[in-house]
């Protein structure tokens, strides 16, 4: 079965073709980094406009790269939410138009389910496992019991980890998106130069909080500017910040896995592309008898292959859903725990 996935939840326009037997055939992604860079974050109106400009070329690109024609597609899947409504609408409506023209089923996909299942595009991970979704909009812990069966354990109470990377990068005068920039500059910095706080709101709770850490960096920069403290370099500040974020993510993920008797962790979402996080999670896992799995970086950040796979799994659970797409609408908020009922 050939599935066309379409992803436009934030600032990446992506289309992919996956084969239910062979996996990814094409996965075309266009970012809008140059459009948003000068603002240090995504501007929703500009994001929606860019998706409109790019969507047809990206879909045609994915079809061409897969060496198929549109009528070969058996199923369509598009991100329905959560995300920016103006962005989501572009993908949802392009998918509806194509599904109608091709007379093929269409499934609305939860973006978070896409991130959760991205790992299955490269390897089989036995259920159950702990999943940490760590992206620009989310920092969530789930027990993944089966396809479509997800239990939330905790989430961020304020900023997502990726959001804190982006905001701190902006404060440090680095580019957008901030995560890769901080990772790059941190290579020449000392991660133990500054002891930033490791916010763990409540040891028993599985929730996260990153806004205090961001404020700690801002306060440090203000004191540095007024000459009140020793002047550390920008790479030292970036490396110390990255160390604090990854310490928190690793320690929460380890305690959640242990508390739920899980010996496998899947780390996914844009921040899971971070080399420091991948290394520390793997090492902590080895110490605790827990295997850490990561999708390769291109499957961690937003991409349509993961949406095609999540759509395929949802369709296999309930094929009738594929014919019901006239009512499909973009949703800014869409909890993942609704997946089982849909």
Determine, following the binding rule CB under 6 A, whether residue 10 of this chain makes contact with ligand KG4: yes
Binding residue (CB under 6 A) for ligand KG4 from 147, 150, 165, 208: 165
Using CB under 5 A, count the residues that bind Zn ion: 2
> E strands, 148-261, where?
149-155
Measured from the CB atom, the residue of 147 and 210 that comes closer to ligand KG4 is 210
Residue choice 86, 91, 148, 180 for contact with ligand KG4 (CB under 6 A) = 180
C-alpha of 17 from chain center: 19
Q: Is 295 in the site for ligand KG4 (CB under 6 A)?
A: no
Phi, psi of 156 (to 5 degrees): -75, 145
179 binds, among Zn ion, ligand KG4, none (CB under 5 to 8 A by kind): ligand KG4
The Cα 248–Cα 255 span in angstroms is 11
Q: What is the CA angle 316-322-325, rounded to 5?
A: 150
- Residue 295 binds which of Zn ion, ligand KG4, none (CB < 5-8 A, kind-dependent): none
Q: Does 189 bind ligand KG4 (CB under 6 A)?
A: no
Instruction: Candidates 302, 307, 325, 339: give the one binding Zn ion (CB under 5 A).
Output: 302
| Alpha carbon distances (Å) from 6 to 1, 83, 231 | 16, 14, 47
Under the binding rule (CB under 5 A), the answer on residue 135 touching Zn ion is yes
**Of the two residues 147 and 176, which places its CB atom closer to ligand KG4 in the complex?**
176
In the three-class reduction of DSSP (H, G, I as helix; E, B as strand; rest coil), residue 10 is classed as coil
CB-based contact 198:255 (threshold 8 Å): no
Torsion, Cα 198 173 300 154, to 10 degrees, reads 30
Write out the residues near ligand KG4 by the rule CB under 6 A: 10, 135-137, 162, 165-166, 177-180, 183, 269-271, 273-274, 301-302
Binding residues (CB under 5 A) for Zn ion: these are 135, 302
């Amino acid at each position: 079965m050939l599935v066309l996935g379409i992803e436009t939840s934030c600032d990446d326009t992506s289309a992919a073709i996956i084969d239910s037997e062979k996996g990814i055939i094409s996965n075309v992604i266009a970012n809008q980094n140059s459009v948003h860079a000068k603002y240090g974050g995504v501007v929703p109106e500009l994001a929606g406009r860019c998706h409109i400009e790019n969507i047809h070329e990206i879909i045609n690109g994915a079809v061409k790269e897969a060496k198929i024609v549109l009528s070969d597609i058996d199923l369509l899947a598009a991100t329905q939410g959560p995300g920016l409504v103006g962005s989501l609408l572009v993908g949802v409506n392009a998918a509806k138009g194509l599904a109608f023209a091709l007379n093929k089923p269409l499934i609305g996909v939860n973006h978070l389910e896409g991130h959760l299942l991205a790992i299955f595009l490269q390897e089989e991970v036995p259920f159950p496992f702990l999943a940490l979704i760590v992206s620009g909009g989310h920092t969530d812990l789930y027990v993944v019991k089966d396809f479509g069966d997800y239990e939330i354990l905790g989430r961020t109470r304020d900023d997502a980890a990726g959001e804190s990377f982006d905001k701190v990068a902006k404060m440090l005068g680095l580019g957008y998106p901030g995560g890769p920039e901080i990772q790059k500059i941190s290579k020449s910095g000392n991660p133990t130069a500054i002891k930033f706080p490791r916010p763990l709101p409540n040891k028993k709770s599985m929730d996260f909080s990153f806004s205090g850490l961001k404020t700690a960096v801002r306060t440090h920069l203000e004191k540095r500017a007024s000459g009140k403290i020793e002047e550390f370099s920008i790479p030292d500040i970036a490396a110390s910040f990255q160390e604090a974020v990854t310490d928190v993510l690793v320690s929460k993920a380890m305690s959640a896995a242990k508390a739920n008797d899980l010996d496998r962790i899947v780390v996914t979402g844009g921040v899971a592309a971070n080399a420091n996080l991948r290394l520390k999670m793997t090492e902590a896992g080895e110490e605790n008898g827990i295997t850490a799995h990561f999708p390769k970086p291109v499957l961690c950040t937003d991409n349509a292959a993961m949406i095609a796979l999540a759509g395929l799994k949802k369709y296999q659970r309930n094929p009738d859903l594929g014919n019901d797409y006239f009512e499909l609408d973009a949703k800014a908020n869409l909890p993942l725990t609704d997946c089982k009922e849909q």
